[in-house]
Structure 1
């Protein structure tokens, strides 16, 4: 029940601070963009947008929410209570993944294309967004300013962009198979029906493994930098 309550709290928090409205505008921009994309390239463009959207949402918004909560003093009453940190992190990942999923489907509906496998397409968005959300939280709790966070999250996120080189046939290597975003791209390619069962199983497995690792890292980071410092005076120097 605590997990559901936290999930509902996050949805209300995001709605109250205009996150859904912002993403409505983003989807409108994508819809306009597709008018200028030639027909033969629309499927490829849709895959790239679906790839970048949950990454950007999880990486930037999750960290921004954590910093906003800290600035508003949300963490103090939250962690003075006997709250389950696992539920808190999963609620964050779940609420932002839901927003990514809604945006992903709107993007593809506006592009005029329907995924060949809706389940694998949805799994790719959900697992990628949750991974990036947990990664972002692990970074955000180490910093007090949004500028420091935005600078460092780009460093952490850079390796996950590399599989796009293979997607565009610029550079391909088996090392990309170790990165979760290689699995993301393969799941999203279900848009064209070009993914077999083994690729689906590999993609879900690699994303689940990385999600678990990101969860453990976010949990330890939150425990060290937030939970152990509840009530700490705001304005402390950045912790690195």
Structure 2
């Protein structure tokens, strides 16, 4: 069942050019990084990698949901034996794998090196899972990209704030609340190729992202069923 759902999602994603465009965005980010002097790469590469698995993925999965609502693919989940929870998991896994491809392209093209890429792969996959599930849950209520625009901008701004805190621009103690944002643990994985990040920090970051993934899954499961599956009957 899961294999068939993944295969169908891949076919639809390729035919609609969503997945090829997603990978090409990673390549484009890598090419953009080539214009930066080498000393700026430790700062800019993590930002671009976060955009790929997190923020771009958040937007693209919403676009997919809207298209599949209009095509009737999601509505069919309520009258077919296909488990809609498997649909969510399949889409999340596909976006996670695409994010890894995009992140590796960013590293390979942007830095002309794959040193430390294992950290990037782990971080990109975990961050993608969280943001894809959040994207599924939040976008389920909307019907087109115009309605989804405000959530996209809110997630974009909030997710970039941890970078300002990480680099010492938000020093007030109140900004420690930013540690709760899922992009923050992702920063440590994306910085690991450029600086020595303690293993304990990476382990805690993994735990934080896994916890976020569980929370995001339940958000996606509840809202997708309420607004997309039941709402289209």
TM-score above 0.5, yes or no: yes
Whole-angstrom CA distance in 1 between matches of 2:196 and 2:89: 31
* Map of 1:64 onto structure 2: 63
The answer to whether the 8 Å contact 2:23/2:98 transfers is no
The answer to whether the 8 Å contact 1:51/1:184 transfers is yes
Deviation at 1:59, TM superposition (A): 1.0
Whole-angstrom CA distance in 1 between matches of 2:146 and 2:57: 17
* Map of 2:177 onto structure 1: 175
The answer to whether the 8 Å contact 1:179/1:206 transfers is no
Deviation at 1:66, TM superposition (A): 0.3
Whole-angstrom CA distance in 2 between matches of 1:34 and 1:189: 15
Higher alpha-carbon deviation: 197-206 or 174-183: 174-183
* Map of 2:215 onto structure 1: 213
* Map of 1:75 onto structure 2: 74
Whole-angstrom CA distance in 2 between matches of 1:122 and 1:31: 15
Change in 2 beyond 3 A, CA 1:157/1:46: closer
Please state if 1:147 is matched with 2:146. Answer: yes
Secondary structure at the aligned position of 2:114 is classed as: coil
Whole-angstrom CA distance in 2 between matches of 1:226 and 1:196: 42
Whole-angstrom CA distance in 2 between matches of 1:18 and 1:132: 20
Change in 2 beyond 3 A, CA 1:6/1:102: same
* Map of 1:6 onto structure 2: 5
The answer to whether the 8 Å contact 1:139/1:153 transfers is no
Whole-angstrom CA distance in 2 between matches of 1:194 and 1:59: 29
Q: CA RMSD in A?
A: 1.8
Secondary structure at the aligned position of 2:192 is classed as: helix
Secondary structure at the aligned position of 2:101 is classed as: helix
Change in 2 beyond 3 A, CA 1:145/1:35: closer
How far does the alpha carbon of each residue in 1:13-50 deviate from its partner, in whole angstroms, 9 at most, with x for none?
Answer: 11111123323542443343233211211232212111
How far does the alpha carbon of each residue in 1:53-97 deviate from its partner, in whole angstroms, 9 at most, with x for none?
Answer: 111232100000000000111122233112222211111111111
Higher alpha-carbon deviation: 80-89 or 215-224: 80-89
* Map of 1:22 onto structure 2: 21
* Map of 2:224 onto structure 1: 222
Whole-angstrom CA distance in 1 between matches of 2:224 and 2:17: 25
Whole-angstrom CA distance in 1 between matches of 2:151 and 2:27: 29
* Map of 1:123 onto structure 2: 122
Secondary structure at the aligned position of 1:162 is classed as: helix
* Map of 1:97 onto structure 2: 96
Deviation at 1:179, TM superposition (A): 2.0
The answer to whether the 8 Å contact 1:58/1:130 transfers is no
The answer to whether the 8 Å contact 2:96/2:124 transfers is yes
Whole-angstrom CA distance in 2 between matches of 1:212 and 1:190: 25
